Structure 1
Amino acid sequence: MSGIVDLFAGPGGLDVGATGLGLEVTGIERDHAACETRRAAGLATVEGDVRDYGPADFPEATDLAGSPPCQPFSVGGKGKGRAALETVLNLAQMLASRQSVALAAAGFDDERTGLVLEPLRWALEAMDAGRPFRTVVLEQVPTVLPVWEAFAELLHREGYHTVTGRLSAEEYGVPQTRGRAFLIASLDREVRMPEPTHQRYRKGVPQGQGALGLLPWVSMAEAIGWGMTHRPALTVAVGTAAGGPDPSCVGGSGARATLYAERDAGRWVDCKRIVDAADLPAYRGGRRDTIRVTPEDAALLQSFPPGHPFRGSQTKRYEQIGNAVPCLLARHVFAAAFGISAVAAGESSAAA
């Protein structure tokens, strides 16, 4: 294969963003339901564990991308990855010294913690084989930014131009206030994070009021035809099977409180999917309807194209969607990484 090899590819958030710019991508993913989703969407897929592969298995790949599992590092999780950040940083230094860290990486309380090191392993192995990846694009939750900064320093020593930063999804047309940390590295050019195309959401600042030259942020109601009209959606969470909050809602209890407050204040477009739940516990002293976000709604809030063919049980679909990189955000990051104009990225976004 030529083009990008995407580690921990999931249902295709990064890949939909890249292919929308005309880039070729093959994703490695071990979750069977996510692989079925990818195949149904026409995305090139290798079903397997990233740790069982390396650059030698993809000799024609020219670029690398990756979005390692975020659960150990997410503020919504148990925090084992966050507690192990110092160890992760030390192991990254060992990798840069060409020492094996496989046993140490397998020894974390949560085995997914060590997976954040895999993109660095791939990049260094490709460098040592004389076929370095021209471009590297990595994504994770904001708490992993120190790891990306360490990776950037190590890759800079290997000859890469690098940049890291935290991006907010609604600034790139995603109808969701999702923050993510990115690393971009390139052997070919100086790199920068993409310039925002939309205004940043700020509580109390009406839509359309903000920096000149930027489009208004996109509300939840605009994206899915119902819901909050005065703000984007909150972060779309994973399902309960993955350790996240109730998959029928956007976010946890705090997010539900925000949804109810927006609705009760009249900043809301009604939807028949809001059902009466007489058997639910009282909320703030009174009964409330439950607000259910379907997998189709959640996918649109993640800026997947309508009809993206998610496969698996309902819980697995929520899990895939919640863990994915928002497609429009990914598209703008790839455009910046590959030197594609922002206009082209915007045109592709509109076409999606």
Structure 2
Amino acid sequence: MTSTASLQPILDKPFVLDLFAGPGGLDVAAHGFGIPSLGIEWDRSACLTRYAAGLDTLHADVSAVRRDAFESLPPEINVLAGGPPCQTYSVAGKGAGRKALDEVKGYIHRLMDGESDEAIDADLKTLTDPRTAMVLEPLRYAIQATRSPNRGMRPYDVIVLEQVPTVAALWTQYAEALEETGLPDGTKYKAVTDVLATETYGVPQTRSRAVLIARRVGLGDPALPESSHRPYEAKGWNGRPSSPAGDPHQPTLDEAPRTTVEADRGSGDEEKPLWRSMGDALGARVGTHPGRARPFLVRSNYGSSGIPGRRGVRSDRQPAATVTGRISRFVVFEHLNEEIVREGARFSMNEAGMLQSFPPDYPWSGTAQAQQVGNAVPPLFGKHLLSAALGLPAPDIRAAVRPWQPVAEERRAELRIRGCGESDGCTDKCPRPEEQTPPLSS
């Protein structure tokens, strides 16, 4: 079931807590609605990006904040959001994903039954892969809210979770527990889950995400956001590059895909606009972005097994392939005329962010910037999720192309004092330096 996002908000003053917040995808989404947010992020460079963007941040481990500092969180927070690292829960391999799901399901039941944190933590330490414990954190935060004197034992009103498609079964387990069992204090939720394609929400890339939207019983039935664009269907074009000049890995214009109208014909959503292409997102000059007016091809780094000839190629008339931490390896080719193609400049981090629907001139900072971009929630997709979860108007896609204004150094220092303890550096309360490396994007 989908929703057009009612114009009647279900909360008077929403305030988002963003777990595993990364460089700020969901926070940028909240910002677009004028909703305050607080993100918890353990990677130092992602925090530097967040400080430069003016986003309220705690540089900390999500689990540590729940155990040791939950009472310091603003009590007015009423929306829990985020996407825990879920590399441990993968369908790849010989039954490893199924085993991980069974483990997580068992812990979900124990948490809902009100078993003590000490007993559960002791067993979690014995897991082969400790990351399995991280997928339980949103649920543990939801439970902790009902035990917090600072909050008056008040549960979160709304929960919004997002991750890679292989996590869909996990969100189903979450939804069943929230609806049927309820939290230990008796609070129950209505929940919906599904796997959604981000290009159908105006994001200029093909990226599938498993989502969960839950509302506390009494706040109305939740619904998934209604798509705003048609799905991408590259019918009959395999993108295998070739060249009459003899280079088997050089793309040519005659192997470019058909126009977006031809590629998308018959999708069943003719009343909706086409999906946004890379050319739509990057073509015009905006902010410091000079624009890519010349037609181009992009050869991705996916599915190649080390063989360049197997790498997928898309034109500027198509959405980008899924943006991950490998976006800096994408090769861009420019058309000089109808027959000549040459290798041009690779995507800048500003452009990579724009393909994720971040505003132009978003202040990417620190190291591993490509990984930050790839790990992030696409802000425009995040806006659609929040609009459906909170009953807000559907987002205006034009807002995504307005340049972001970084905050002044004084404000950045204030945010870092709150997030790290010092205006110009980390302190002992921050995660250890050897841990401050973002996980690979999926």
TM-score, normalization: structure 2? 0.65
Q: CA RMSD in A?
A: 3.0
User: Offset of 1:82 from its aligned partner?
Assistant: 6.4
User: Offset of 1:104 from its aligned partner?
Assistant: 3.1
Q: Using the alignment, how far apart are the partners of 1:22 and 1:44 within structure 2?
A: 14
User: Offset of 1:114 from its aligned partner?
Assistant: 1.7
Q: Using the alignment, how far apart are the partners of 2:400 and 2:359 within structure 1?
A: 10
The amino acid of 1:176's aligned partner reads: Q
The amino acid of 1:221's aligned partner reads: G
Which has the larger Rg? 2
Q: Using the alignment, how far apart are the partners of 2:133 and 2:193 within structure 1?
A: 20
Q: Give runs of aligned pairs for residues 166-181 of structure 1, distance below 5 A.
A: 166-181=195-210
Q: Give runs of aligned pairs for residues 23-102 of structure 1, distance below 5 A.
A: 23-54=35-66, 55-58=70-73, 59-73=75-89, 83-99=99-115, 100=117, 101-102=120-121
Q: Using the alignment, how far apart are the partners of 1:338 and 1:128 within structure 2?
A: 24
Q: Which residue of 2 aligns with 1:217?
A: 275
Q: 1:81 to 1:229 in 2, by over 3 A?
A: same
Q: Which residue of 2 aligns with 1:118?
A: 137
User: Offset of 1:185 from its aligned partner?
Assistant: 0.7
Q: Is the 8 A contact 1:21 1:348 kept in 2?
A: no
Q: Establish whether residue 200 from structure 1 lines up as the match of residue 231 from structure 2.
A: yes
User: Offset of 1:25 from its aligned partner?
Assistant: 0.5
Q: 1:63 to 1:10 in 2, by over 3 A?
A: same
Q: Which residue of 2 aligns with 1:143?
A: 166
Pick which of 143-152 and 64-73 moved more. 64-73
Q: Which residue of 1 aligns with 2:357?
A: 303
User: Offset of 1:218 from its aligned partner?
Assistant: 1.1
Residue of structure 2 aligned with 1:294, choices 348, 356, 366: 348
The amino acid of 2:322's aligned partner reads: T
User: Offset of 1:293 from its aligned partner?
Assistant: 3.2
Q: 1:138 to 1:79 in 2, by over 3 A?
A: farther
Q: 1:139 to 1:77 in 2, by over 3 A?
A: farther
Structure with the larger RCO, 1 or 2 (CA within 8 Å, 6+ apart): 2
Q: Deviation digits for residues 294-338 of structure 1, max 9, x if unmatched?
A: 32222111111111111112xx10111111111110110000000
Q: Secondary structure at the match of 1:61?
A: coil
Q: Secondary structure at the match of 1:201?
A: coil
User: Offset of 1:3 from its aligned partner?
Assistant: 1.0
Once the two structures are aligned, what percentage of the paired residues are identical?
41
User: Offset of 1:89 from its aligned partner?
Assistant: 1.6
Q: Which residue of 2 aligns with 1:284?
A: none
Q: Using the alignment, how far apart are the partners of 1:268 and 1:163 within structure 2?
A: 50
Q: Using the alignment, how far apart are the partners of 1:271 and 1:293 within structure 2?
A: 12
Q: Deviation digits for residues 60-119 of structure 1, max 9, x if unmatched?
A: 212111111243346799996665222112111111112232233344333323211100
The amino acid of 2:344's aligned partner reads: K
Q: Using the alignment, how far apart are the partners of 1:108 and 1:270 within structure 2?
A: 51
Q: Which residue of 1 aligns with 2:393?
A: 341
The amino acid of 1:17's aligned partner reads: A
Q: Which residue of 2 aligns with 1:288?
A: none
Q: Secondary structure at the match of 2:130?
A: coil
Residue of structure 2 aligned with 1:234, choices 311, 321, 327: 321
Q: Is the 8 A contact 2:360 2:402 kept in 1?
A: no
User: How many residues align structurally?
Assistant: 314
Q: Is the 8 A contact 1:7 1:50 kept in 2?
A: yes
Q: 1:141 to 1:98 in 2, by over 3 A?
A: same
Residue of structure 1 aligned with 2:328, choices 234, 243, 248: 248
Structure 2 unmatched ranges of 5 or more: 1-12, 236-257, 283-291, 298-314, 404-442
Q: Is the 8 A contact 2:42 2:61 kept in 1?
A: yes
Q: Using the alignment, how far apart are the partners of 1:267 and 1:25 within structure 2?
A: 50
Q: Deviation digits for residues 274-303 of structure 1, max 9, x if unmatched?
A: xxxxxxxxxxxxxxxxxx333222211111
The amino acid of 1:297's aligned partner reads: E
